[in-house]
């Protein structure tokens, strides 16, 4: 009777190939990371002295667009 060893090298090859494939898919699926220096933001606004801190920002404009019929 012969002692046969399983083909562990074949298993490790396919396991490694699956790991590399999953890592490649994750890199492609993730969005690009933009450095924080390049982000464009609105200038800081000074709070009014007597309240009434409402201002028409891009977020508010987008909300108004979604509520129009």
Our CA dihedral for 49, 55, 58, 63, rounded to 10 degrees, sits at: 130
Kindly list the domain boundaries of the chain, sorted by start residue: 8-66
What DSSP state is assigned to residue 65?
H
Q: Which two three-digit tokens encode residue 16?
A: 């490694």
pTM attached to this predicted model: 0.36
pLDDT in tens, 4-46: 666 678 888 888 899 999 988 888 877 766 555 655 666 777 7
Distance of CA 42 to the CA centre of its chain: 22
pLDDT at 63 over 70: yes
């Amino acid at each position: 009777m012969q002692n046969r060893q399983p083909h562990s090298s074949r298993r490790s090859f396919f396991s490694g190939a699956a790991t590399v494939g999953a890592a490649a898919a994750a890199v492609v699926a993730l969005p690009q990371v933009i450095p924080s220096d390049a982000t464009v933001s609105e200038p800081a606004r000074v709070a009014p002295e007597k309240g009434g801190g409402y201002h028409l920002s891009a977020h508010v404009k987008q909300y108004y667009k979604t509520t129009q019929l």
